[in-house]
Structures are given as C-alpha cells and as structure tokens.
Amino acid sequence: MLALLLRNVLRVERLANEDATISREHGFPQWSAFSDVLLGWGAAHRRQGANCIDQMRRGIAALTNIGARAFEPFHLVLVAEALAFAGEVDQGVAELGQALARSTLSGEKWADTELHRLRGDLVCRLPRPDPDDAERSFRAALLIAREQGTTGFELRAATSLARLWGNEGRRERARKLLAPVYDRFTEGFDTADLKDAKALLAELA
C-alpha cells in the first residue's frame, strides 16, 4: 500500500507478485485477490490493455465473494484510474460514482480525497470538459484532506486544482494555493507527488 500511494509501480508489482506466490502456496484467497487488484493496476500504468482491468475486477469480485469489503472504495478508484489509462475516461467517471456510493454505504472514508480528486482530473479529460465541475471536485478533495489531516492527499488535490487554475490563466492564485502546502514538507522530495508539485510551481513562477 505504501508503494502504491507513492506511485512506485515497479515496487508495487514486485511485492504483489511475491504476495501472489505466497498466497497460492498457502491458500490465502484474500491476499491472492488483493494481489490481482495491485497487479492489474501496475499493468494499467504500463498501458497493458483491457486485460489488466479484467484482472482488477476479478480480484474485487473475489474479495466481495469472501466478505472482504475493506478497501473496496479505494479499489474502485484504482479501477477508474486504469480505465482512464485505457482511454475510457467516461467509464472512469462512472466508476468513481460507484466508489462514492460504496464509501457512503460502508463509512470507509479514508480514500474520499482521492476519489474526488481523480474525478476532477477525469472530468478535465472528457471530450467536453467541464472546468467548473472539475473545480468542485478538487475543492471537495481539499476540504476532506484538511479535515482528515492527510497532507499527502492535500498536496495531490492542491496540485490538481492549481494546474486547473494555471491552465485558465489564474497563475498567481494557483501558486498561493499550492506553495504553502508544498512548503510544509521537509522530506520525500524524490517522490512523484512532490516532484509534480515542484514542477508545477516552476511553471507557475
């Protein structure tokens, strides 16, 4: 999970393959299904086609069948991301609607920030983008991250909203949003999220 949240695709795949091997050897269906979700996500990042999405859905279905519903909203967020990689952005937005419904039903809210942030990103990529709708999603993500005290997710949400504002010509407003969040970090500057934020701040300068 740490590798996943750090967007370290190679490490996710290596650990998930180890997990799959151990799970098969010892008969751990929950962890075998979980590894399917992660391996599918990794393959999606490498643009491996629709099979990776099928693999993720099989893993989620297997978890549901044994009553292991933890992480379900987050898993659907990962499926939505994989759909977007495959060019099925509209399906990704629909998947996020299901993720929000699951989150509301289960009360598992820790991934809600990513749910709203990714929805905003995908709305920007639709054939007919709706910047106002995207901004509402980004603002929802920021609010939840601040309420939960998840600075890493707050940085992602701030980066997405700042990028939207920058593209609209609101560069100063974008910098004022993103810079204070970025400046709170004292380590981890080699991670993908901080690199993205730093690069965007340079563009907005």
Residues spanned by the domain of 35: 1-108
User: Among the three residues 62, 92, 108, which one is the final residue of a domain in this structure?
Assistant: 108
Q: How much is the pLDDT for 123?
A: 97
> Are residues 139 and 101 located together in one domain of the fold?
no
User: Among the three residues 88, 108, 128, which one is the final residue of a domain in this structure?
Assistant: 108
Rg of the Cα trace of the chain?
Answer: 17
121 near 112, Cβ under 8 Å? no
> Are residues 10 and 67 located together in one domain of the fold?
yes
Average pLDDT of the residues in 93-117: 94
What are the tens digits of pLDDT across the range 112-144? Answer: 999 999 999 999 999 999 999 999 999 999 999
> Are residues 134 and 80 located together in one domain of the fold?
no
Q: Domain count of the chain?
A: 2
State the CATH number of the domain containing residue 189: 1.25.40.10
What value does the mean pLDDT of the chain take?
95
> Are residues 119 and 195 located together in one domain of the fold?
yes
| Structure tokens that stand for 128 in this block | 């007919």
> Are residues 121 and 182 located together in one domain of the fold?
yes
**Cβ density class 164-198: b for 16+ within 10 Å, e for less:** bbbeeeeeeebbebbeebbeebeeeeebebbebbe
pLDDT surpassing 80 at residue 72: yes
Q: How much is the pLDDT for 46?
A: 87
Where does the pLDDT of residue 50 fall: very low under 50, low under 70, confident under 90, or very high at 90 and above? confident
State the CATH number of the domain containing residue 90: 1.25.40
User: Among the three residues 108, 140, 158, which one is the final residue of a domain in this structure?
Assistant: 108
pTM value surpassing 0.85 = yes
> Are residues 125 and 154 located together in one domain of the fold?
yes
> Are residues 35 and 78 located together in one domain of the fold?
yes
